[in-house]
Chain A
Amino acid sequence: MTEALPIVIVGAAPAGIRAAERLVEAGVRPIVLDEGLRAGGQIYRRPLVDDGRSYRNRYGSEAKKAERLHAVFERLRPSIDYRPETLVWNVSGLERSGHLDVLREGVHRQIAFSKLLLCTGATDRVLPFPDWTKPGVYTLGAAQTALKAQGCTVGDRLVFMGSGPLLYLVAWQYMKAGARVEAVLDTAPFRSKFHLVSLFVRAPRIVALGLFYGAQLQLSGVKVRYGVRPQTVLGEERVEGIRFRAGGRTEALACDAIGYGFALRPETQLADLAGCRFRFEDRDRAWLPERDAQGRTSRKDIYVSGDGSGIAGADAAEIDGELAALAILQDIGNTVAGDRPRQLTAARARILRQREILESAFPFPRDWFETVPPETTLCRCEEIRIGEIHCAVGAGSIGEINRMKALSRVGMGRCQGRMCSAAAVEVLSSIRKVEPKETGRLRAQAPVKPIPLGFGGPLDTEESR
């Protein structure tokens, strides 16, 4: 008798770990593939080597959750087939049962699955502004990763800019780490923060924490500006400052690093390669794989969970991972006792409602491209400027994002649009004066990330273990 194909989880972060935990409890031994060296994901990223810092020191207000999740994972280790440093770069063979193409330590393998749970998370959403490619400009997520995983700062004198709760959190973390934070440049107007009043009723802890960070920053002399639009990064070779407009005034600040970002964008390429149907989610201004409350996609045997299926944050991802595991257990014929799925679904829905309010307090800067000059780089990999997009769109009467890619090369480079496509969609929709949804969805192609040309060799197919 052949052994049954394994259940495979991609991503060992809040969603993936909680899913694995629930599967293991039911007697299933999942394969857990993770690109990182150590489990935890972006939010609960662990240092590559232990540097003696405490959880409190490393994760601040989220220390308890981080510690708990890491402990769960360590406990699971003997009961799961965990493979770190594994890049899942394709889903193929879907005309049969389907398998993942993975690369680990330079060796290509195909892993067949009976059920696949994608917990692929999210990356920073970035929007170009003049000189954003200058050395010393980081995303908020990268700035945070430097602190958490490498125990270093990206600069000594910093300015943080953008929109989203992460903006104030990272600024505060840098201040705590002893760096000099010059300013927090919030691109949202001050009045948007009044939305937090209604959030206070639903989620007092989030608001209290936000107020705490804000107050501590201001008390420490960090300048906070609202309604900011950057004009340029100062400095010849690298960042020496930033000039921006806020409240009708132009201001310049000296700094040696800038951290910036506009909330997150979900990583959905594997779901796309797996053939899942997508829908546009206004809240994330992004296309998401269609899913039910528990993470079942339009494709049998393929499930999505966590931020990769819609941005809701780490707490929601933990809940969501368990929900997806329960769905998988139900679908393989296990009885899921009691009320658990319903409770979890309700808890996740509560967080999503909070997200709506946060989105109003930290709104996406819809008018961004009205002030960004045409010579600004949009696509770093292919070195395409915004002005070239205007020309290509005009000359080719382009209204669709895949068409724009074909005619302008935006999103054709190393990042395959992971970095630039959110902005590219905004540029296209601002030129065409339509909602981003109307410009269509950028289709994913394998490999999800670059793979060595010499990866091939004889294919090592793993039917079962």
Chain B
Amino acid sequence: MIQRISTDVTIIGGGLVGSSAALAMRQAGLDVVLLDKGFCGAQASGVNYGGVRRQGRPAEQLPLSQRAHGIWPRLKALVGIDGEYVPSGHLKLARTERDFAKLEAYAEMARPYGLDLELVGAEALKTRFPWLSAAGAGASLCPGDGHANPRLVSPAFARAAERAGVKVFEQMPVRDVRATGNGFAVLAGENLEIRSRQLVNSAGAWSDTFAAQFGETVPLKRIYPSMVVTEPLPLRLPVSMGEQGGSFYGRQVARGNYVMGGGRGAALADPDFSRPSVTAASSVMQRAIALFPHLANAQVIRFWSGTEADMPDGNPVIGPSRTTPGLFHAFGFCGAGFQIAPAVGEVLSELVTSGRSTTPIDAFSIGRFAHAAAQTADSL
């Protein structure tokens, strides 16, 4: 028997973006249906590194990132758990003088956005972070950044949305979606038919298919992080770490495990699943030992990967569709969606209720690719 639901907004994709949007919209008084083809927060939102980081983001993302920065400390009130969020600080290392110059330039650029970065020279680095070796030319510290547990945070947003009255359907892949003239019709799973005035496409690495159904082609590519985790070890690493160039990142969780990543994995035959590459994992492990000699005898207990959406300019797509009124996109976070997602959820709620975002999102318009496609066509 077909189950028919009529609602204000249908959200495709129960990742952190879709789930936080569902929660924000529900709080704004809307009727919301949230659909996930698997489990909410089980893809990129749930298996990423867990960096809650503003430092290093391009200028156009900083207003949104700052907005999200205000949400993270309120997690417990918002979704019922703190998600192991720790504003530990984020330390970004420069291996060379040239890299350090880049960090200096970034700090200068980010200051007007309210991001106060502290530049730490090579000598100061040694005294302040004595457990760190082979650090190189210096570092940039962002004191308010930190980390959290994506396994817990992302599903918690979906559960909180559900408790607030959002209808959440898991293991419910969308089979067909179309505009009806005055809204949208979505067929999901075996027998679910949803009619809604508005539609949000927050399907992560699967978003391009839905965008294409509305005539919007995007150059989305799938990327797969390569993650490594050690056994629990004595607490020693007080900050989340990164490197200019991005080849290594690492943090130590409250339980004691070092969670580290860098490089890329590869998709399996079923493209919904992926594995880290041994080469990438191995170079992460080499770098870890170089940076933290105290890990020399540590054991690695697990590798993992996930499926993320990458865009050619490093920025996500956030905003209204150019072809279809009532449709909004939010995807393509290029491996850096975790921190920013709760703010994207609020922005999506603003878009569906008032049609405009109080935080600038113009740089993320899907139209920028239509433009590029047209230009390419012209030049041919």
Taking a contact as CB atoms closer than 8 A, the residue among B269, B278, B289 that contacts A453 in the complex is B289
Which residue on chain A has the smallest CB distance to residue B168? A397
Convert A349-382 into 0s and 1s, putting 1 for each residue whose CB lies closer than 8 angstroms to a CB of B: 0000000000000000000000000000000001
Residue among B42, B268, B300 facing the most chain A CB atoms (10 A cut-off): B300
Which residue on chain B has the smallest CB distance to residue A273? B275
Interface residues of A in 442-465 (CB under 8 A from B): 443, 445-447, 450-457, 459
Q: Across the interface, do B159 and A396 meet the contact criterion of CB distance under 8 Å?
A: yes
For B266, list chain A residues within 8 Å (CB). Answer: 95
Q: Distance (Å) between the CB of B288 and the closest chain A CB?
A: 6
For B279, list chain A residues within 8 Å (CB). Answer: 459
Number of interface residues of B (CB under 8 A): 36
For B300, list chain A residues within 8 Å (CB). Answer: 447, 450-453, 455
Taking a contact as CB atoms closer than 8 A, the residue among A90, A452, A454 that contacts B278 in the complex is A90
Which residue on chain A has the smallest CB distance to residue B302? A445
> Which of A75-83, A172-180, A399-407 is the interface stretch?
A399-407
For B230, list chain A residues within 8 Å (CB). Answer: 453
Q: Across the interface, do B288 and A413 meet the contact criterion of CB distance under 8 Å?
A: no
Q: Across the interface, do B46 and A445 meet the contact criterion of CB distance under 8 Å?
A: no
Q: Distance (Å) between the CB of A377 and the closest chain B CB?
A: 16
For B232, list chain A residues within 8 Å (CB). Answer: 413
A149 within 8 A of B: no
A406 and B50 alpha carbons, distance in the complex (Å): 14
Residue among B152, B278, B283 facing the most chain A CB atoms (10 A cut-off): B278
Taking a contact as CB atoms closer than 8 A, the residue among A275, A413, A445, A451 that contacts B269 in the complex is A275
Q: Distance (Å) between the CB of A89 and the closest chain B CB?
A: 9
A452 and B228 alpha carbons, distance in the complex (Å): 12
Q: Across the interface, do A445 and B278 meet the contact criterion of CB distance under 8 Å?
A: no
A101 within 8 A of B: yes
A395 within 8 A of B: yes
Q: Across the interface, do A416 and B278 meet the contact criterion of CB distance under 8 Å?
A: no
Q: Across the interface, do B296 and A416 meet the contact criterion of CB distance under 8 Å?
A: no
Q: Distance (Å) between the CB of B271 and the closest chain A CB?
A: 13
Which residue on chain A has the smallest CB distance to residue B292? A453
Contacts A407-B152, A407-B155 known; A454 to B285 CB distance under 8 Å?
A: yes
Which residue on chain B has the smallest CB distance to residue A412? B302
B127 within 8 A of A: no
A340 within 8 A of B: no
How many chain A residues sit at the interface, stated as a range, is 20 to 34
B304 within 8 A of A: yes
Q: Across the interface, do B303 and A446 meet the contact criterion of CB distance under 8 Å?
A: yes
Taking a contact as CB atoms closer than 8 A, the residue among A92, A101, A110, A403 that contacts B39 in the complex is A403
Q: Across the interface, do B298 and A452 meet the contact criterion of CB distance under 8 Å?
A: yes
For A453, list chain B residues within 8 Å (CB). Answer: 230, 285, 288-289, 295-300
A414 within 8 A of B: yes
For B39, list chain A residues within 8 Å (CB). Answer: 400, 403
For B155, list chain A residues within 8 Å (CB). Answer: 396, 406-407
A90 and B289 alpha carbons, distance in the complex (Å): 21
Contacts A92-B278, A412-B302, A456-B285 known; A406 to B159 CB distance under 8 Å?
A: no
Convert B285-314 into 0s and 1s, putting 1 for each residue whose CB lies closer than 8 angstroms to a CB of A: 110110000011111111110000000000
Which residue on chain A has the smallest CB distance to residue B273? A443
Which residue on chain B has the smallest CB distance to residue A90? B278
For B244, list chain A residues within 8 Å (CB). Answer: none
Q: Across the interface, do B303 and A452 meet the contact criterion of CB distance under 8 Å?
A: no
Q: Distance (Å) between the CB of B245 and the closest chain A CB?
A: 19
A406 and B151 alpha carbons, distance in the complex (Å): 6
Q: Distance (Å) between the CB of B158 and the closest chain A CB?
A: 9
Q: Across the interface, do B283 and A445 meet the contact criterion of CB distance under 8 Å?
A: no
Convert B67-81 into 0s and 1s, putting 1 for each residue whose CB lies closer than 8 angstroms to a CB of A: 000000000000000
Q: Distance (Å) between the CB of A60 and the closest chain B CB?
A: 37
Convert B128-159 into 0s and 1s, putting 1 for each residue whose CB lies closer than 8 angstroms to a CB of A: 00000000000000000000000110010001
A39 and B269 alpha carbons, distance in the complex (Å): 35
For A459, list chain B residues within 8 Å (CB). Answer: 278-279, 282
Q: Distance (Å) between the CB of B187 and the closest chain A CB?
A: 24
Q: Distance (Å) between the CB of B267 and the closest chain A CB?
A: 9
Which residue on chain A has the smallest CB distance to residue B269? A275
For B286, list chain A residues within 8 Å (CB). Answer: 456-457
For B302, list chain A residues within 8 Å (CB). Answer: 412, 416, 445-447
B108 within 8 A of A: no
For B303, list chain A residues within 8 Å (CB). Answer: 445-447
For B151, list chain A residues within 8 Å (CB). Answer: 406-407
Q: Across the interface, do A452 and B297 meet the contact criterion of CB distance under 8 Å?
A: yes
Interface residues of B in 39-95 (CB under 8 A from A): 39, 42, 46
B97 within 8 A of A: no
Q: Distance (Å) between the CB of A112 and the closest chain B CB?
A: 13
Q: Across the interface, do A450 and B231 meet the contact criterion of CB distance under 8 Å?
A: yes
Q: Distance (Å) between the CB of B222 and the closest chain A CB?
A: 15
Q: Across the interface, do A456 and B297 meet the contact criterion of CB distance under 8 Å?
A: no
A452 and B286 alpha carbons, distance in the complex (Å): 11
Q: Across the interface, do B268 and A275 meet the contact criterion of CB distance under 8 Å?
A: yes
For A450, list chain B residues within 8 Å (CB). Answer: 231, 299-301
B277 within 8 A of A: yes
A451 and B300 alpha carbons, distance in the complex (Å): 5
A414 and B301 alpha carbons, distance in the complex (Å): 6
A395 and B160 alpha carbons, distance in the complex (Å): 10
A24 and B288 alpha carbons, distance in the complex (Å): 44
For A396, list chain B residues within 8 Å (CB). Answer: 155, 159
A447 and B302 alpha carbons, distance in the complex (Å): 6
For B46, list chain A residues within 8 Å (CB). Answer: 406
Contacts A275-B268, A445-B302, A450-B299 known; A414 to B231 CB distance under 8 Å?
A: yes
A90 and B232 alpha carbons, distance in the complex (Å): 22
For A454, list chain B residues within 8 Å (CB). Answer: 285, 289, 296-297
Q: Across the interface, do A447 and B275 meet the contact criterion of CB distance under 8 Å?
A: no
A446 and B302 alpha carbons, distance in the complex (Å): 6
For A457, list chain B residues within 8 Å (CB). Answer: 286
Q: Distance (Å) between the CB of A341 and the closest chain B CB?
A: 29
Interface residues of A in 412-462 (CB under 8 A from B): 412-414, 416, 443, 445-447, 450-457, 459
For A273, list chain B residues within 8 Å (CB). Answer: 275
A446 and B282 alpha carbons, distance in the complex (Å): 12
Q: Distance (Å) between the CB of B183 and the closest chain A CB?
A: 29
Q: Distance (Å) between the CB of B48 and the closest chain A CB?
A: 13
The 9 A-B pairs of least Cβ separation, nearest first, read: A450-B299, A456-B282, A453-B298, A406-B151, A446-B303, A445-B302, A456-B286, A450-B301, A453-B285
Write the residues of chain B forming the contact surface with A, with a CB cutoff of 8 angstroms. 39, 42, 46, 151-152, 155, 159, 230-232, 255, 266, 268-269, 273, 275-279, 282-283, 285-286, 288-289, 295-304
Since A414-B231, A454-B289 are in contact, a sample of 5 more A-B pairs with Cβ atoms closer than 8 Å, ordered by chain A residue number, is A397-B159, A407-B155, A414-B301, A445-B304, A452-B298
Name 30 interchain pairs, CB-CB below 8 A, sorted by A.
Answer: A92-B275, A92-B277, A95-B266, A273-B275, A396-B155, A397-B159, A402-B42, A407-B151, A407-B152, A407-B155, A412-B302, A413-B231, A413-B232, A413-B301, A416-B302, A443-B273, A446-B275, A446-B303, A447-B300, A447-B302, A447-B303, A450-B231, A450-B300, A451-B299, A451-B300, A452-B297, A452-B300, A453-B296, A456-B286, A459-B279
